[in-house]
Amino acid sequence: MAASVAGPEIERLIQLLARLPGLGPRSARRAALHLIKKREALMTPLAGALQVAIERIQVCRTCGNIDTQNPCTVCTDPRRDPSTIVVVADVADLWALERANATNGRYHVLGATLSPLDGVGPQDLTIDALVARAHESQVSEIVLALNATVDGQTTAHYITDLLQDANVKVTRLAHGVPVGGELDYLDEGTLSAAMRQRTLF
């Protein structure tokens, strides 16, 4: 076992940083060392920002986004189209769509996708709240922006079945050849999905 080169406080900082996605033990050690060297410029403001986040961040009661206000900034934006609800599995997906400026609709975060192997069932997701929102008079389209995985597609089919009696159009994201993609490098599933969903040129 390697000998400890720093006190327990520093080792704890490294261990906590190593829990972040994309950071292993080595990169966590480098990040901790950088923070320690730049205590005044980085560590103190970071500690303050983390404390504010702990105190103020909450889950939006309408869509499931995280923000410092409730309902969130997206839900209260009057420029948003209330007739479209984009369903995503996670807040990270919502943020990705916002970065791409891909939609002007509102969102609904499920919290995950159905996954029997992982013990995630319908009761673990916010599907009931989505169905209730789909029955609101101003909503005309539900966009299922879920991953093209088995769990994502299973969730999409489950939701579609529940929305049969709602007066809404249910759509999903297109699947197929990505922008800039070369056919030779794509897997067979992507190619066949692209061929099935071909559109007029």
- Measure the CA–CA gap between 66 and 59, rounded to whole angstroms: 5
Q: Is the pLDDT of residue 183 over 80?
A: no
Q: How far is CA 7 from the centre of its chain?
A: 37
The pLDDT value recorded for residue 34 is: 95
The pLDDT value recorded for residue 196 is: 82
- Reading the block at residue 110, the tokens are 């499920």
Least confident among 120-129, 149-158, 191-200: 191-200
- Measure the CA–CA gap between 172 and 145, rounded to whole angstroms: 6
Q: Is the pLDDT of residue 147 over 80?
A: yes
- Measure the CA–CA gap between 59 and 94, rounded to whole angstroms: 13
- Measure the CA–CA gap between 159 and 74, rounded to whole angstroms: 23
**Percent of the chain with pLDDT strictly greater than 70:** 97
Which comes out higher in pLDDT, residue 195 or 71? 71
Tell me the domains of the chain and their CATH numbers.
66-172 (3.40.1360.10)
DSSP string, 148-162: SSHHHHHHHHHHHHH
Within 10 angstroms of residue 5's Cβ, the number of other Cβ atoms is: 8
User: Residue 198 — φ and ψ, nearest 5°?
Assistant: -65, 155
Least confident among 53-62, 126-135, 155-164, 188-197: 188-197
Which comes out higher in pLDDT, residue 195 or 168? 168
User: pTM of this prediction?
Assistant: 0.83
The pLDDT value recorded for residue 6 is: 73
Q: What is the mean pLDDT of residues 84-95?
A: 96
The pLDDT value recorded for residue 3 is: 57
The pLDDT value recorded for residue 1 is: 46
User: Residue 106 — φ and ψ, nearest 5°?
Assistant: -100, 175
Tell me how many degrees the CA angle 126-130-132 measures, rounded to the nearest 5.
Answer: 120
As a whole number, the mean pLDDT across the chain is 91
Q: Is the pLDDT of residue 56 over 90?
A: yes
Buried b (16+ CB within 10 A) or exposed e, 91-104: bebbeebeeeeebe
- Measure the CA–CA gap between 78 and 99, rounded to whole angstroms: 19
